[in-house]
């Protein structure tokens, strides 16, 4: 069993896609162990995306991620990290496979509706960034 962090980004919340994303999660073998809505400050978003600090899109990305509320979730399942990244599709929605969340809902390489951890190390950091152990069920 593995755990991963999922975020429905501000564009997803703003466009009424919370239910659509959760429906896909509940139709998959992934289980939701924790969920809450938050509105990040710029320093909180910068801390979350610290690995991307040197990237040219860092400032724009952290502005976007603080432009409205997001829904953060902990998901669990076999190969949860890879499984959820498959459900999300490629970062650039134009390259994402048919039937993926980003292919079906995203409008932009930055405003791509969802986030998912990319390794066990980043999943551990990201889950701990938003949740304490009492908030994760199971
Ligand atoms: P995420 O980490 O959000 O799950 P990812 O792992 O597919 O997405 P990363 O390379 O980690 O992609 O980039 C983090 C986020 O930064 C992307 O989801 C997207 O919102 C934004 N981003 C990535 N590449 C670009 C780019 N070339 N231009 C603008 N924004 C970008
Ligand atoms: Mg990433």
Confidence of residue 93 (pLDDT cuts 50, 70, 90): very high
Q: How much is the average pLDDT of 129-137? A: 97
Q: How much is the average pLDDT of 97-120? A: 97
Residues bordering ligand 2, an ion, CB closer than 5 Å: 118
Q: Which atom of ligand 1 is nearest to the CA of 90?
A: 7
For the full predicted model, state whether its pTM sits above 0.85.
Answer: yes
Give me the active site residues, please: 115
Supply the pLDDT for residue 90. 98
Is the CB of residue 12 less than 8 Å from the CB of residue 21? yes
Query: Ligand 1 pocket test: which of 49, 51, 83, 91 has the largest number of ligand atoms within 8 Å of its C-beta?
Result: 91
Q: State pLDDT tens for residues 29-78.
A: 999 999 999 999 999 999 999 999 999 999 999 999 999 999 999 999 99
Closest residue to atom 29 of ligand 1, CA basis: 110
């Amino acid at each position: 069993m593995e755990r991963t962090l999922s975020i429905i980004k501000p564009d997803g919340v703003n466009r009424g896609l919370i239910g659509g994303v959760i429906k896909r999660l509940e139709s998959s073998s992934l289980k939701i162990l924790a969920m809450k809505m938050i509105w990040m400050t710029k320093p909180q978003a910068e801390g979350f995306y610290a690995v991307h600090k040197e990237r040219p899109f860092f400032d724009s990305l952290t502005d976007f991620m603080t432009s409205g509320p997001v829904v953060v979730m902990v998901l669990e399942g076999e190969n949860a990290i890879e499984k959820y990244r498959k459900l999300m599709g490629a970062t650039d929605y134009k390259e994402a496979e048919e039937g993926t969340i980003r292919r079906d809902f995203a409008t932009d390489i930055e405003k791509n509706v969802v986030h998912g951890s990319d390794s066990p190390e980043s999943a551990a950091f990201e889950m701990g960034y938003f949740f304490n152990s009492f908030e994760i069920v199971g």
